[in-house]
Each structure stands twice: as structure tokens, then as C-alpha cells.
Structure 1
């Protein structure tokens, strides 16, 4: 399907490549859907009790259980329980290491793609095992809000190791690498902080101890490992799934009497207010993944497409948010909605800091002569607000 609707084209400098529509799309239409090459839940997200299938990220909590945990209120009862998307009867786990899955199908696919290698390496659940130390080291370096996971790299290694054609899979992953050595170093620095040199060395040593093989040795050199860190830092797409959001979609689609519909809407609004008071924006099971087509989409502060996850798992659907003509480039925003509303100066600073480019989209060019858009007091993030939210989540984790 995707091959007939879009194509990746080389665009030259400065973008390098982009994704283009082969046929026209109307606003609201799905342009393409794709599964990731590799996906992994964030380390802290998992540690805080956000239960998700280890393969597809589908939530393992029921909607009501999810709300009770996040609000810390065991008396919450969600109406229309039949709208809960979670089927716990299908849940299963790896018999060797206890990793959880939403179905036998996901367990089998995980085993075929990567889990046989990772399970054999960490079957003993030994906290001193290099894989466990690797995950813990990453958590200490990379606090929420998370944007990547070192275990995504581990799954890349394991995927290559279990492939029938490792060279072809390595080449597939290397297509994501477009930065120079200096750019890769800057990306690694941004991801790991001021102590990034020592941290990068520690992560590489632990990865080498856990997953070294001749097949992946090129990625375990200092340069190769830094390149992989940069690959994940610039190409990984965030994945978020929530049993509550799926329940909300289903109940709001019910045909109900007007008064019951009004009461339900009020209940949902109040529920989200309670959740915001307790955990802020930390509602979902969150992780990151690498997608071939999505990763080819360039940024615009006026995007014409939006990546979505309508199946409550890692399957990405790219949706048109404006009409798109055949031959037009498909553009997404690398910034969230709040950042998009900020000044041109602030948007460009975020993009330079995190993606190492200066945006020259139509919106930025149109605002380039506006004095109100060339300077801003928004540059510094509201650290107090972020710390307060993280304190709430950490307190919740301690309770769990």
C-alpha cells in the first residue's frame, strides 16, 4: 500500500532526502501505515508501572486499573466497561524470563526477531548482568521526560544477530545515518549531558559485554557506537499507547441519550483533570521506534501530516492534516503542539539544539522579518514545572 502512495526521493542539501506523495490525499486521509523495524518501551516508563506488551507496546492494563493507578484512587469506576480495549485473557509471558506480551502472536514474533538473544543473555534475572547494568546506567543518565532508550540499541543488535542475512539488516539500519562525525558527537552530547564522553564509554563497554559478536563488532568501536546513539537520537519516533484513551474513543462513539451523553462528557473531563493534577502529561505507556517511511519525513512548522497510533500499538498511521497534492512533500512537525505555538526564535533554537538544523519552512520564512519573532523570552524551559511533574511520577512509582 505505502509503496503505491508515497516515495522517498533524494532532495540534495540541506535536507538530503524527503517523502513525497505519489497521489493526492484529502485532509483526514491515511497516507500510509507501517510497522517499525524495532521498538522498545522507555526504561523509566516501564519502571514506573506503565504495563505494555514487550513487542507491540499494546497496553496490558485495563482502562479502569490504569486510571486507579494514576489517580491513586481505588474507588474509581468507569462506566461502559465493555468499551475497555484490554483483553487480559490473551496475555502471556516468556516462560524463561517473564517478559509480558499481549498475545501468543507477539511473544512468538518477539522470539523470532530479537528476544531469543536477549532472553538467553538475561535469563537468570541477575542484576549484575551487563544488560541489566546497561539499562540501569541509562536510567541514571537519561531521566524523564524520555526521548530514547539504550535498549532500543540492544534490540537492534539482537535483530541483526537473529537475522538470516545480517549484512542486509545492518545496511538497512545504516540508511538512517546521515550525520557527520562532529554532528554525531553533538547529538550524543545532547542526549547524555555534560559527562557524555565517560557515559558513552560506559554504555559501549556494557553493550560489548552483553552482546558482542563478530557480526556487530563495527558498531562497538567508539565511532560506531556514537553513530548508533546519533541514529536513535535523530530518527526514533515516539510511541504512546493508553487503555484510557481507547476507552474514551469507544464510549464517546456510543449512541446515548442526550442527558447521559452530557453526564459522560462531564465525567471524562473531570477524570482528565484529576489525572493532570496527579501525573501531568505522563499518561501513556511510552517508548520509541524506528520506521523507514516516517524517518524520511522532513520537518515543517506548518506540517501537512501527523503520525498517529490508531491501533493502540506500535503500528504507525501517517494522516494528512491538510489536502496534499501528488508530488508534494509530506512534512511533519518534530516539535509538539506547545512548541509549535512559540515564537520563530524559540522554535528554531529547539530544532538547532536537538536536530542540528535551522528551519526554513514557509512559516519560519514568513516570520523572518517580524521583530516580534526574532527574539523571545521563552528560551528557558519551565524547570520548576517539569521537576514538579517528575516528583509526582516518582512518588507514584514509590507507591506502586
Structure 2
């Protein structure tokens, strides 16, 4: 863990409820990148990949040229993006696995995948064979876990493959064991959020066992062991997103353009995002999940002093300070998205309990403890009624 963290923070035990936490050792300035971290394992969402959001199989970097992605997501085949030089996709560096055709952003990513897990997961010419055991796992997962996606069984398959390929799996198993374990009741809740019916869990267990069984982790394939791994995966994974369009936009913003041309480009980008939202709603990114050792020590607050960003446009996350953080102060992120964090205390508590299995006692929630226990939807309905009466 220490190798992943900057000198300005450290992991400490907090209390029996929160477990570990991340604390500042020295002053951290607003907007400072506290640390960067690549995941132990990551994968793209199954439906995201199925709908042709092209990403590097290893690092999840978006590999579809910005203009092609914009045309697909706006359903406008004639769309032309100005300043094509701002597209960050390096097609000359893209490589495919010579056996199965899996796509990688670089030779380095391909080699890293081969060394860690891809030898076990490469199915060669059977990639389009629906009867191959691994393809049956993925297809069955898609049939029981629809968008908006929050997990992918491939994460567990990669974990198993990493253990299979390792000459000394103990350090890896120790890393996986660091993630928060849940009680039997909490496992039930976590699994219910990912799968609507209990029989789906047994289906996935049998398919994963058929395709990936290994004595090194035989406990993962038992009924109880699979439940625990599934719950661990569901409650600890961090969302990942990348987009060649967003890279193009960021690079356009850096262009030294004269005032009128800059204004025209800004208007074009604003219109582009309106068109994207009309057609594709919020599904604009190559999306997936990963397990991160250091990030997993960050506790939640509804008034966070740091946030996760993906500044490298791949699966490497950056923890960035939202405000000045003083020594001994806990560094907290929000597990809620930008819309959820501004909702009522009762709604925030409900979302956190359903998805992360805890009751939040952050300063913001404590200060709002006397607020009426209504959801944000109830508040919106009351506002609508008041407007109709007036």
C-alpha cells in the first residue's frame, strides 16, 4: 500500500464501523493530485462493449476516433469535427491479440494483459463461438444484467485468471482479501442489487466454474465462497469512464484561437453535447469498473474534500483535493454522483444503504438529522403541488 500513496497521506484504522481511512500527513492544497493509482484489475461493461464503445481491453482507454464516436452517438453520419488534430486516439499504436483479435491501445498494454491474465482468457478463433464456456458466461451475464450497468462478471473472471497465471499467488490473494468483507445479510443486499433473482447467482457460479475452475482458489467456486466474491465485487468496485470525444474537447480548449473563432468552436461543442444527449442520453463513455487498493481506503462523505478523476483517460485514477486539507484530517470522497449528492439527507441515506450497505454519519448528514424524512422525489412532488395551488 505504501508504494501507491504519496508522502502526504497514510492509511489508518478508524473505528469498528468504518474500518480503515485515508488521512493527511501534511498540508494538501486545493486541486492537488494526492496520488495516482492503476487498478489491481479492471474491465469494460459487457453491454457497453456490445454496443461498440471501443476501448483498450487492458486500460479501458477509448479507441474510437472522436469524429467516428460523435457520428455514432448522434446518429449523424455526415458530422465533421473541426480540428481533427485534437483527437487523442493514436491508431498507429493500436494492436490486436494475434490469436483472438482483442484490441489494445499499445504493445505495452497488450504485453501487460498477457503477463497478468490474458493467456487464460484468450479463446483464439472461438471468440465468436457462442458455445465457448467463457462466451456463455458473458452472454448469460448480459441477459440478466441490463443497462444502466453497475458491474461485470468479467471482473471476477480476470481475478481468477490472474491467480491461475501467477507463479506465487499469495501476494495477489492478500491484495484481494484487503477489500471489505460483508456479513451474510449484507451479501444478500449486494447480490440483490446486481441480480434480480437468486437463481441467477447459481447460474453464474456454475458457468464460471465450468469455464475457469482452479484449485488455487477452489473456495471461490463453492456456494458461500462465490456469494462472498460476488458481494465483494459489487460493493468495492470503482466506476471508470473514458471518451475520445472528451479528449478532443479538452484539446480544443487548449488551442490558441482568436476570439471569434474560439467562440464559434465553443458554440459547436455546446451544440454537439446537446445532440449527443438527445440521442444517447448519458451513455457517452467507454465505461467499466476496477478494484483499487488505495482508493478502497477512502471513506465516504456527503461533503467530500477530495474526488476521483480520470486525468489519464484510461483506468488510472487520480485522487484530487477539492479544498485545502490539513494534517490529521481524513480525506473523504463521495460515493454519490453529482446529482445524488445534492439531494435530501433521506434520499442520500437510502441510496448509500442500498448500494454500499452503510448508514452515513458524515458532518453534513449529522447537521441535517432533524430534517423531515422525505425523499427528493417527495419534495419535488410537494413543490409541484404548491405551484398548482398558486
TM-score by length of 2: 0.94
User: What's the offset of the Cα at 1:3?
Assistant: 4.5
* Whole-angstrom distance in 1 between the partners of 2:26 and 2:230: 35
Where 1:106 maps in the other structure, the secondary structure is helix
1:364 aligns with: 365
Alpha-carbon RMSD: 1.7
Given the alignment of the two structures, is residue 378 of structure 1 paired with residue 388 of structure 2, yes or no? no
Where 1:32 maps in the other structure, the secondary structure is strand
* Whole-angstrom distance in 2 between the partners of 1:120 and 1:284: 27
For 1:1-400, list aligned pairs within 5 A.
2-120=5-123, 123=126, 125-193=128-196, 195=197, 197-371=198-372, 374-376=373-375, 378=377
User: What's the offset of the Cα at 1:73?
Assistant: 0.8
Number of residue equivalences: 378
User: What's the offset of the Cα at 1:341?
Assistant: 1.1
2:387 aligns with: none
1:396 aligns with: none
The C-alpha deviation readout for 1:132-162, integer Å capped at 9, x for no partner, is: 1111111111111111100000000001111
CA 377–33 in structure 1, closer or farther in 2 if over 3 Å, else same: closer
The C-alpha deviation readout for 1:241-275, integer Å capped at 9, x for no partner, is: 00010111111111111100110110000000000
* Whole-angstrom distance in 1 between the partners of 2:340 and 2:125: 40
* Whole-angstrom distance in 1 between the partners of 2:201 and 2:379: 26
Q: Is the 8 A contact 1:142 1:191 kept in 2?
A: yes
The C-alpha deviation readout for 1:308-336, integer Å capped at 9, x for no partner, is: 11111111110001111122111111110
* Whole-angstrom distance in 1 between the partners of 2:204 and 2:143: 12
* Whole-angstrom distance in 2 between the partners of 1:272 and 1:286: 18
* Whole-angstrom distance in 1 between the partners of 2:378 and 2:73: 31
User: What's the offset of the Cα at 1:59?
Assistant: 1.0
Where 2:157 maps in the other structure, the secondary structure is helix
* Whole-angstrom distance in 2 between the partners of 1:334 and 1:207: 29
Q: Is the 8 A contact 2:237 2:291 kept in 1?
A: yes
User: What's the offset of the Cα at 1:4?
Assistant: 1.8
Where 2:377 maps in the other structure, the secondary structure is coil
The C-alpha deviation readout for 1:3-50, integer Å capped at 9, x for no partner, is: 423211111221011111222111111000011000100000000010
Q: Is the 8 A contact 1:236 1:288 kept in 2?
A: yes
User: What's the offset of the Cα at 1:376?
Assistant: 2.5
Q: Structure 2 unaligned runs (5+)? A: 381-390
* Whole-angstrom distance in 1 between the partners of 2:378 and 2:165: 45
Q: Is the 8 A contact 1:310 1:317 kept in 2?
A: yes
Q: Is the 8 A contact 1:41 1:286 kept in 2?
A: yes
CA 334–380 in structure 1, closer or farther in 2 if over 3 Å, else same: farther
Q: Is the 8 A contact 1:177 1:227 kept in 2?
A: no
TM-score by length of 1: 0.92
User: What's the offset of the Cα at 1:167?
Assistant: 2.1
User: What's the offset of the Cα at 1:177?
Assistant: 3.3
Q: Is the 8 A contact 1:96 1:123 kept in 2?
A: no
Q: Is the 8 A contact 1:121 1:210 kept in 2?
A: no
The C-alpha deviation readout for 1:43-76, integer Å capped at 9, x for no partner, is: 0000001000000111111111110111111111
Judge which range, 19-28 or 257-266, deviates more: 19-28
Where 1:337 maps in the other structure, the secondary structure is coil
Q: Is the 8 A contact 2:345 2:368 kept in 1?
A: yes
2:384 aligns with: none
Q: Is the 8 A contact 2:100 2:124 kept in 1?
A: no
